[in-house]
């Protein structure tokens, strides 16, 4: 009952503060102006994701003070404050890669250190034990995840609804596995995402911005590591829950590198962006991805929890069609006449 009350409060606070940020952004000219790489036709307020970042850190801090979250895991999450701050500065003044990447690596290294490194990973045929190599891979994976989430925040409602989906599954798995930390943090993330989504659902009235999308990617990465350490989830569970984002962003990045494009610059080459151009609707694409998540990825992800030894094969089964779909939609290639 107390948790339901707290989550209701988080939802209301997220909704009200997002509205306040929207009014401030409109008055202060903090707008995302459409350009050649945009799928929007008019300027929209940006920076609403700051609300999710601030309230989530406050919520996590309250959980720590209440004794529900260990100090090391709270401090790992607290590294997201730097990620959110740099993202906000990027929203305001468009920071160069030379400013963003060192801050991201610093925050991620801080988080992995406080979590005690990465746990071993079962690759079905062999296991990769705890080591400095695995810790280094964890750092790279978290930096990729926080940027991946930013790359996928390009249409109305997509990034926020993905967070709702992952949070609901994280809460359900946390409860079933008696993982209190995972359950509490997932529930909080989900409530905050719903409050923001009320403003961001197509047609969006405010955008998340880098402050929000980078923080969410970082936060989910930390949740992934701590849940793996707790034994409630595996890396394969997380790859499936984030399957659409992982497959689209990875296919797009690899194809752009192969093409010789400046992969680190903004673009409009993701598969989901091609899908919007073809369907002419942000809402349809967002709903289609939610359907994929619920009907295809969620059952497979749950399977990796029930049978963790089958994690890698289940992940391959789940991700392979998504990779093919990303390729079929033209992920990583410029827009074509067919898209228009």
**Full-model pTM:** 0.96
- In this predicted structure, what is the pLDDT of residue 336? 61
- In this predicted structure, what is the pLDDT of residue 156? 96
Cβ proximity of 175 and 11 under 8 Å: no
Put residue 209 in one of left, alpha, beta given phi > 0 → left and psi -120 to 50 → alpha.
left
Confidence class of residue 222 from pLDDT cuts 50, 70 and 90? very high
Specify which residues 127 forms β-bridges with.
Answer: 122
- In this predicted structure, what is the pLDDT of residue 190? 98
- What does the DSSP assignment read for 169-199? HHHHHHHHTT-HHHHHHHHHHHHHHHHHHHH
- In this predicted structure, what is the pLDDT of residue 36? 54
- In this predicted structure, what is the pLDDT of residue 127? 84
- In this predicted structure, what is the pLDDT of residue 337? 42
| Higher-confidence position of 199 and 266 | 199
Confidence class of residue 33 from pLDDT cuts 50, 70 and 90? confident
- In this predicted structure, what is the pLDDT of residue 191? 98
The string of pLDDT tens digits covering residues 139-187 is 999 999 999 999 999 999 999 999 999 999 999 999 999 999 999 999 9
The string of pLDDT tens digits covering residues 227-278 is 999 999 999 999 999 999 999 999 999 999 998 887 777 778 999 999 999 9
| Average pLDDT over every residue of 44-66 | 97
Does residue 192 register a pLDDT over 80?
Answer: yes
- In this predicted structure, what is the pLDDT of residue 195? 98
Percent pLDDT > 70 in the chain is 97
Both structure tokens of 171: 């809460």
The string of pLDDT tens digits covering residues 85-112 is 999 999 998 899 999 999 999 999 999 9
- In this predicted structure, what is the pLDDT of residue 244? 98
- In this predicted structure, what is the pLDDT of residue 340? 47
| Average pLDDT over every residue of 319-335 | 94
- What does the DSSP assignment read for 25-55? HHHHT-EE---TT-S-SS-EEB-THHHHHHH
Provide the 3-class DSSP secondary structure of residue 334.
coil
- In this predicted structure, what is the pLDDT of residue 37? 59
Does residue 20 register a pLDDT over 50?
Answer: yes
Q: Which H helix or E strand runs over 128?
A: strand 127-128
Average pLDDT of the chain to the nearest whole number = 94
Does residue 193 register a pLDDT over 90?
Answer: yes
């Amino acid at each position: 009952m107390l948790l339901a009350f707290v989550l209701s409060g988080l939802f209301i606070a997220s909704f009200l503060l997002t509205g306040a940020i929207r009014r401030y952004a409109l008055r202060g000219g903090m707008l995302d102006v459409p350009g050649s790489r945009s799928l929007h036709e008019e300027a929209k307020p940006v920076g609403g994701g700051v609300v999710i970042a601030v309230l989530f850190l406050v919520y996590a801090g309250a959980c720590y003070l209440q004794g529900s979250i260990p100090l090391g895991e709270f401090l790992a999450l607290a590294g997201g404050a730097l990620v959110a701050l740099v993202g906000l500065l990027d929203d305001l003044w468009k920071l160069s890669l030379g400013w963003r990447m060192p801050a991201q690596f610093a925050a991620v290294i801080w988080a992995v250190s406080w979590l005690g490194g990465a746990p071993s990973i079962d690759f079905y045929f062999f296991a990769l034990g705890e080591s400095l190599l695995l810790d280094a891979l964890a750092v790279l994976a978290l930096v990729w995840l926080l940027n991946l989430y930013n790359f996928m925040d390009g249409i109305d409602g997509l990034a926020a609804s993905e967070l709702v989906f992952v949070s609901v599954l994280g809460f359900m798995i946390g409860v079933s596995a008696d993982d209190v930390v995972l359950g509490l943090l997932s529930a909080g993330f989900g409530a905050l995402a719903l409050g923001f989504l009320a403003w961001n659902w197509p047609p969006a009235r405010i955008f998340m911005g880098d402050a929000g999308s980078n923080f969410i990617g970082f936060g989910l990465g930390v949740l992934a590591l701590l849940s793996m350490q707790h034994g409630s989830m595996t890396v394969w569970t997380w790859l499936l829950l984030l399957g659409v984002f992982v497959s689209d962003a990875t296919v797009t990045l690899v194809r752009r590198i192969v093409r010789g494009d400046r992969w680190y610059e903004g673009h409009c080459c993701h598969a989901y962006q091609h899908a919007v151009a073809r369907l002419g609707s942000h809402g349809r694409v967002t709903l289609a991805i939610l359907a994929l998540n619920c009907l295809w990825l969620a059952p497979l992800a749950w399977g990796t929890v029930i049978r963790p030894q089958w994690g890698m094969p289940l992940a391959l089964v789940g991700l392979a069609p998504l990779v093919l779909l990303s390729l079929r939609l033209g992920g990583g290639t410029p827009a074509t006449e067919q898209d228009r």
